[in-house]
Structures are given as structure tokens and as C-alpha cells.
Chain A
Amino acid sequence: MSRAGPDRSKRVDTSINRLISQIIPDNPHNTEDENQQRHDLLFQQVKEQLERPHPPPLADQNHASELIRRRLVQSDPNLALRFSNLYSRLLALPILDQKWAMLYLLHQLTDSPDPTLPDPLAFSEFQQEETRRQRRRDREEYGSLSPSDRDSEDGLAPDPMAGAYRPTDLRDVLKNPKESKSPDEDPLYGSSKRPVSPSEWKRNRVQVDEYPDPPRRDVAIKSKLLADNYSSIEPPEPTILRDLPYTLQGISSATLPFGPDYSLKLPSSLPPPLIGLLHTLAEPSLLCKALQDFVKTPAKGLLDQSLRAAINDELRSYLTLVATLEGQIRRALSSIDEMAPRSGIGKAGVTLKRCVVWTREATMGLRLLSLIAEESKTKKGGQIISLIHSFSTSHGDPIVGAFAERLLTPITRPFYDILRHWIYDGELSDPYSEFFIQLKSTEAMAKTKTGSTNVWDEKYEMSHTMIPSIVTLEFANKVHLIGKSLNFIRHSCGDAQWVESYSKASSKELRYGDTATLESWIDDAYKITMRRLVHLMTHKFHLFEHLQALKSYILLGQGDFIALLMESLAANLDRPAGAQYRHTLTAQLEHAIRGSNAQYDSPEVLRRLDARMLQLSHGDIGWDCFTLEYKIDAPVDVVVSDWGNRQYLKVFNFLWRIKRVEFALSSSWRKVTTGSRGVLQTDHAMVQETWKTTRGFLAEMVHFVGQLQYYILFEVIESSWTELQARLKREDATLDDIIKAHKNYLNSITHKGLLGARRRRFVASSSNSSATAANEEDDNSYMIQLGELLRTMLSYRDCVDGLYSWSVSDFTRRQEADLRREDMDYDESPGGPHSEFPALQERLQHLGDRFRTRLQILLGDLAYQPDVDLRFLGVSMNFNDVYQPIRRKAKGTPAPTTTGGTDKEKGKERERERE
């Protein structure tokens, strides 16, 4: 201060004043005067202090900065770097002459206690002052106050001798931790005069909560006290801390060795609180160890592998945390002072408790991971994804949710790879069958191989348990269809080229997360593949033409062809089945094709048409065994399957029989009608009568067959065909839709075509055991009834043929007789006593009656069909009520009332018809 002029010292004075008022708060409990007094006092002291001669501290400003830098490098290199930056900026500034002094000041103040935090030292001094003040007040009461006494009390630096007569000072307690350990000689309890014991002090504090800092101060002081009361433990905390990182990594250490079966041995000499802490710390350690072992176990599949990889990743980040922790611990351990209480660990910044807090979040992650690992052991493929997905979507804890969500991305990668391969290449690259679409097992394939393999339905199947919950069922179905179609196009339709170009053009990287885009991609892929497949089916494999051909040839849609075929084959087929030769059949078929409009059909279709004999059984004639066949090959047989072929054959055989009866009846009718003008003319009343009834029956039969045929061909087949067409022509029709539509088409034909319809509706409801038997019996009952009817008609026709030949022979006999005897009266019996006429007549009568009865039963059944079309068939056969439909009684249930009802119904129908 030697060079300070008056001006300068004045400025310093104002600065001191500002400094004091800046730092020292006003005590609101004191008066203005007291505060002023205090201020002045302090001013005096400060000035004194400043003016006291000091040795010039450091000559060189670099020295100050060097001191600071060295200090910072020790604690934190980052801070040192920052300081260097700041320092260079400071040097660049034009103002400030005494930069080094400023730095030196800061250096002196480095790590000074926070003025806002309670300082036990200050507190103890305060206590001393209070004591002295009190004493002074006491002394004042006796009127003895010496100035020297006052001086000593208010001296700036604590008097070194003061400690001697202040044995109860808190500060001393802090300095001598060893002494404080025994409560008996605890000096705190020695001083009963003032609230110096922490508990009393605290009681006071509690009442003044409006001050912001008391609780913190309380804690700080208490922790200090606690630290000093701390008894040494074995092994000491630093040792445990040093070993902790190893334990956290799952490595055994001297103090904390791992036992067998994921157990950790804690030293028994530790006090319970520490054991508690170590228990908490043991959890991540054990989990980590278990997970490390889990990661090492062999994976069962791609998803298992990805799960292990993801867990490994998480473990790695956990180990990073442990490494940081270890660094902290190392640094803390290197800086602790062995001599300080509790080895000074409280000040070093790393304690077991802190480690617990730091590993807390990681522990939660590890816990979830080990849960996943544990549960995934019994699961596979999509189920693993479902498991983790359920954590991410339906767990209430948002942390768990986010964690699982993060895991999902790496784990689902192989799943999406398979998915991509499947929907863009149509190949299933799933070596561990983890995908929800699986190749059917070879045994299942072998079973179906007895027929023909239906690639479409049989090759791949969807396993519902493997569908991960990240995709919906509808989505999975679509995916299944896409891949199946691509596979079908590639392998069955031989269009691998298109599949490849498609996969190149539209292949996209699929990943977890963006479900909306993923779905739109899947939709795109779905549309493209389906369009392509239908296109291939219609244009390359002529699916629709085949269906059309099946209808016109197998379902007798092409009338001229069938008529011609039947005409040319009739003579041949009357012979026994054994006498049928394939070459004649094919020749006749060829003839029928050439002679009808069928010749204009495409050769592709005609090539597939074939005539052959079914398996012979003894006594069959050609009619029973003949069949037409339409051969369907590779890709189209997906639609027209084996089952479909059988249905077609069934319908064809039925129709063929009807056609044959019709053919037979009409040829007889023709013969009889022409004959009645010539050879059949007779005067015999009985013969005339017989012929009349015979013609009547024949007409009835022709009517019946005509109605039946009309019904099947037009009401059933044509209407179903229209329906099928409508479905096939739909814009978004997939192959599955086509297959389904075709199936429906065949079903409705067989059902309505009397080939499989149930006779009664509520058979099953009566009683269980008998009903099932009756049920099966009933299934084909129309078929049986119609078969009987057709057979009756054929035998009737045979009889008519017999009658015709008898009439012809009778005619010739009569003509011969006429030549011999001109006028001779007829006998009572026509044709003489040995004539076969009565037998024929009786047989005709009998067959005719049987036909009628059967027809009536059939009509009775038809009238109660639930199906409108079948009821309509009954009505059209019996439009003028010639027949009385007979209602067969259901087994065991008398139904007189219902018959009455039906009569009434019939009556109503009749009325309706009249109108």
C-alpha cells in the first residue's frame, strides 16, 4: 500500500465498505445502531488487516495461473483445459493491470466453504462469542467490564489460548473423534448450560422452520457427528469399494466371493446396514452373472440368437457403467486420507450408498432382461417376440415399456428378414422354423401324395401360436397368401422370372417400428401378387375355359354333343361292360365331337376330353360303367382339385343316367306312337285298354324325366354357374377366392341336384344315437330314391318293349289266322290260352304302380325341403296335383297334424295356381 495515494486509499475504503455490506447481512433483530456499529467495527478490522504489511506474494503472474492449473489437473483435466481457455482470453483483455493478483486471490479462495452452507467452525466460534457475551453480561451485572476483556473477545483471529478454557466447544469435539466415541465422557453432555448438544439444538431449530436452510445445516452437522461416531469395520469400506466393480461384473473377489448357483457370500463381520446395502448391490451382480451365462448358452434359432445379441448389448452398456463407476471409485480411493475419520471416505464422494443409487436404474434393466431370458427358454420364434412385445405394450411401468421397445428392434430383425424373403421372394428361409408360416412336415405331405399333391393348400401351413403379437391375424393371413402365391407362381406356374424381377423391383427393408408403412407395403405386395396370379391363371392356364368346358361336357351343357354321343353309343353300351372297348368308345367320342358344335372348341380343351369305363363289377352293362372325363393338370388342379373332379364325375354319372332313361323312354315312345298306327292296332278291348294305360304311364315318365332334367340343367347348374362367373370376375378376386367360389359352385350343384341333400331338416334333434345313423342313411336318400325311380322306368320300358313285341307277334298271328279263317271271334283271353299277355299286363300294372308310389313319396319329401329350389321341383312335377304326395312319417313321431297342414298348403297352392 506504499504507493497508494490519498485518492487510491479512499477508493479502497469505499470498496471495503461495499464488500462488508455485500457479505454481512443485516440482522433484523438488532437495531440500526447495532448494525452500524458492527459494520464500523468490521471496517476497522478489515482495514487493519489490509494495511498490515505483507510480503509481496508472487512476482510473476504466470506463477499464479500455474498454481491454479496444477491444482485443477489433479482433480479434473477437463476443468484444467477450460481454465486454460479462460486464462488466455483474460490475458487478451486490454484492461486490468493486476491480473495475476486477481488470479492469486481466486487461488487463495479455492474450495473455500460455501458461505450459504453451515460452517461448524463458524458455529463454534459463534457459540464462544455467545458464551463470552453472556459472561460479559453477567459481569456487567456486577459492574466490572474491563476494556482488555473486550479486546480479547472481539479479536479477529481466534485466540490460540481460547481453546484452553473452552473445553465444551463443539469444534474441539470435531477435532478429536476418538474422544467422542464414549458417551460417558462426551463433553457435549458436560455442558448443560446452553443448547449445544445436537438434540437440543435441533429442538430449537425445529421451531424456526421458516428459515430456508436449517434442515440442511442440521443434516450436515449430524452427518459430521455420525461420521465421527463411526466405528471401524472389517473389512473396511474402501476395500469393499475397491472390490465392488468386480462383483458388479460378476467376478469373484477376495471380500465378496461368488458361491455356487448364483449366490454371493457377504463377509459376516459387517454391520447390518452395510449388509443391507450389499444385498442391494448383489442383485445386479447376480443378475449380470446369470445373464452372461445365458448369453453363452447355445441358441435354438435365429430369434434366440438375436435375443442373446440384444441382451449382450445391454450387458455391455451395463459394463460401461460399471467401468465408469470403477474409475470414480479409483479416483476417490486414491484421494482419501487414511487418517481422516471413516478413512475420509465421506469426503471422497464415492460410498457404497452412492453405488447403490448409481446402479439402481441398471438393476431394473437387468431384472427385466433376466425375466425375458428366463421366459424365453421355453419359447420359440414368434412367441419370443410376443413376449417382449407384451412387455412393451401392456406393462404399466413406462421405463419397462421403453426398455422392451428398445430391445424389440434388434430382436425382431431376423423375423423381418424372414418376412421380407417370404413376401418378396416367396421363399421360406427359416432354418429353425420360427416363422408363423411353416413348411408342412414330410409325413403330412406323404399322406396327401396318395392323391395328387395340392401345392396350394398343402405345402405351407400357418401356425397360429407362432404369430407374434406385433402383427394381427388378418395381416398374418395376408402375408401367408402373398408368400404362398409367389411360391406357387415360381414353382407351379413356372414363372420364376417374374418373381425375380418383382422381388428386385419392390424389395424393401422391413424393420420394427413403423407399422403403418409396413402394412401399406404388405398391401401393395398383396395386390401385385394376387393380380399376377389371377392373370396367370386366366391367360396362361386358361382356367375359365377349363371351367366352361367342364360345364359343357361333364355337366351336359353342350346338348347336341351329348345327344349325338348317346345316339352313337347306345347300341354299344347295351352290351355287357366286359364287351366295351376303349378304342370304340374314343372313336364314338371323336365322332360326336366332329358331328357337333364341339368341333369349334379349342384343341386345348378337346385334347383333355376322354371317354373311359369305370371299374367293372359283375353283371354291369356298358351304361353303368361309361364315363366321360376331363383331364386337368398341374396348376389348374389347385382349383379343380381331386375332390372337385369326383364331384364332377358324380354329377356326370347322375345326369348320364337321367339322359339315358330319357333317351330310352323317348325311343320307346316313338316306337309305340308309330306302332299304334300300324302293327299295334287291335280290336281286342283288353289289349287296347292296356296300351292306353301304358301310354299314360309312359307320358308320366317322360314328363318326370323332362322336369328333372330341366330342373338340374337350368335351375341348378346354370344359376350356380352365373353365380360362379360373378365371383370369378370380381376385381379383387384372389386364387383363394376362386377356389372357394368353385367349391361353393360344386356344392350347390350336388346339393340342389339331389345328390347329397338331406331329406329332413331336423333329424339330429330327435335323439342322438339313432339320429346319427338315420342321418347318414338320409344323406343319399334322394340319390337312392331317384335311382329306384330310374330303374323302375327302365324296367317299365323293357316291359313296354315286351308288350310291343307281343303285340307285333299277336298281330302277325292274327294276320296269318285271318288268311286261314276269315271270320272268327276272338277268345276271351287275347292271344290264346298260352299267351304271355296277362303276365305282361300284370307286370306293367305293377311297375306303373310302383313308379307312382315312389314318385309320391319323393314329392312328399320334396314338399318339406328347406331349399326353395327343391320345393319348386316338387311343384313343377306335380303342377296339376295328379299325385298325392305322401308324407313319410318321421321315426317314432306321429305327425297327423302336419299332414293335415300340408293338405291345406296344397290346397292353397292349387288356388294360387288357378289364379
Chain B
Amino acid sequence: MPPQGSREENEKQDAARQAVDILHDISTILNCHLDRRTLSVCISMVENGVNPEALANVVQYLRKEAQKVNFAKQAAAANQ
């Protein structure tokens, strides 16, 4: 039954949103500096069996890379 199915879908989405909400709150408390989108990506990865410790390392690493890109941007701007 499509309506029921959609309702289930709705409920699921609702629960997912709630989960993201709660986890986002926790991450704020813990000063993780994760925005909701990044967080939901992380959740899906963890749900798919990725090792959390490795994922944490990856996030840190990627952040560093991002900073480097920013520095490069500024340097480029400065050189112009």
C-alpha cells in the first residue's frame, strides 16, 4: 500500500532527522565543529560499517587539507 509505505517512509525520515538533531546537539556540546550535512554524511558512513576512529582521522585530515586550500587561495590572491 503506497500510502502506508509513504507513511512509514515519513516516520523513518522523521526518526532520522531526530537522530541527526540529537547527534548535532552532542557534537555542539563536544565542540566537534561538525555541520549538519557533514554529520549526516558521517552517520551514513558509520552505519555502513566504516571504522569510526579511521573516519575521525579522515575528517581531521580533510580539514587540514581544506585549510591548505584556503591558504593557497589567499596566497594566490595576494600574488595577483
Contacts and interface: CB of A to CB of B under 8 A. Distances in A.
Report whether over half of chain A's contact residues are helix, strand or loop; otherwise say mixed.
helix
Interface string A57-97: 10000000000100110000001001100110110011111
Interface in B43-72: 43-72
Contacts of A126: 67-68, 71-72
B60 to A, nearest CB: 6
Given A19-B62, A126-B67, A129-B68, A54 B27 contact: no
Contacts of A23: 38, 59, 62-63, 65-66
Nearest to A108: B56
**B41, B55, B75 interface centre (most CB from chain A within 10 Å):** B55
Interface string A294-305: 000000000000
A102 interface: yes
Contact of B62 (A46, A83, A113, A130): A46
Given A83-B29, A106-B32, A15 B52 contact: no
B31 interface: yes
A106 B23 contact: yes
Nearest to A127: B71
Given A11-B48, A22-B37, A98-B47, A42 B65 contact: yes
Contact of A24 (B23, B29, B34, B62): B62
B10 interface: no
Given A15-B48, A96-B47, A25 B70 contact: yes
A20 B45 CA distance: 13
Contacts of B52: 57, 101-102, 104-105, 108
Interface residues of B, number: 56
A253 interface: no
A197 B5 CA distance: 63
Contacts of B33: 109, 112-116
Nearest to B51: A54
Contacts of B68: 122, 125-126, 129
Contacts of A211: 74, 77
Nearest to A100: B52
B38 to A, nearest CB: 5
Interface stretch (A1-9, A488-496, A875-883): A1-9
A102 B46 CA distance: 6
Nearest to B71: A126
In the A-B complex, list the 3 residue pairs whose CB atoms are closest, starting with the nearest: A108-B56, A122-B67, A29-B76
Given A1-B50, A122-B67, 12 more contacts: A23-B62, A24-B62, A29-B77, A50-B55, A86-B22, A96-B19, A104-B52, A104-B53, A108-B57, A109-B32, A111-B30, A113-B33
Contacts of A104: 52-53
Interface of B: 12, 15-16, 18-19, 22-23, 25-27, 29-34, 37-38, 41-78
Contacts of B66: 23-25, 115
29 contacts: A1-B49, A8-B49, A12-B45, A12-B49, A19-B41, A19-B42, A23-B65, A25-B70, A27-B76, A30-B72, A38-B69, A82-B25, A82-B29, A90-B19, A90-B22, A94-B15, A95-B12, A96-B19, A105-B55, A108-B53, A108-B56, A109-B32, A109-B59, A110-B30, A110-B32, A122-B63, A122-B68, A125-B68, A126-B68
B9 to A, nearest CB: 12
A112 B31 contact: yes
A643 interface: no
**A3, A72, A96 interface centre (most CB from chain B within 10 Å):** A96
Contacts of A116: 33
A150 interface: no
Contact of A50 (B19, B26, B29, B51): B51
A38 B30 CA distance: 31
Given A57-B53, A105-B42, A49 B61 contact: yes
B79 to A, nearest CB: 9
Contact of B29 (A28, A49, A72, A95): A72
Contacts of A3: 49
Contact of A29 (B25, B56, B58, B73): B73
Interface string A218-246: 00000000000000000000000000000
Nearest to B59: A109
Contacts of B23: 90, 102, 106
B26 to A, nearest CB: 5
A529 B34 CA distance: 75
A106 B64 contact: no
Nearest to B34: A109
A15 B70 CA distance: 23
A788 B41 CA distance: 126
A106 B41 contact: no
A93 to B, nearest CB: 5
B69 A25 contact: yes
Contacts of A121: 64
B54 A54 contact: yes
Contact of A122 (B32, B64, B75): B64
A874 B23 CA distance: 112
B48 A8 contact: yes
B43 A96 contact: yes
A915 B68 CA distance: 122
B15 A214 contact: no
B71 to A, nearest CB: 4
Contacts of A15: 41, 44-45, 48
A536 B48 CA distance: 99
Given A42-B65, A105-B46, A214-B74, A86 B26 contact: yes
A18 interface: yes
B20 to A, nearest CB: 10
Contacts of B60: 109, 112
A52 B50 CA distance: 11
A756 B59 CA distance: 110
A122 B74 CA distance: 14
Contacts of A38: 69
A37 interface: no
A726 interface: no
B12 A49 contact: no
B69 A49 contact: no
B56 A105 contact: yes
B75 A93 contact: no
A611 interface: no
B67 to A, nearest CB: 4
A335 to B, nearest CB: 15
A38 B26 CA distance: 32
A98 B41 contact: no
Contacts of A101: 46, 52
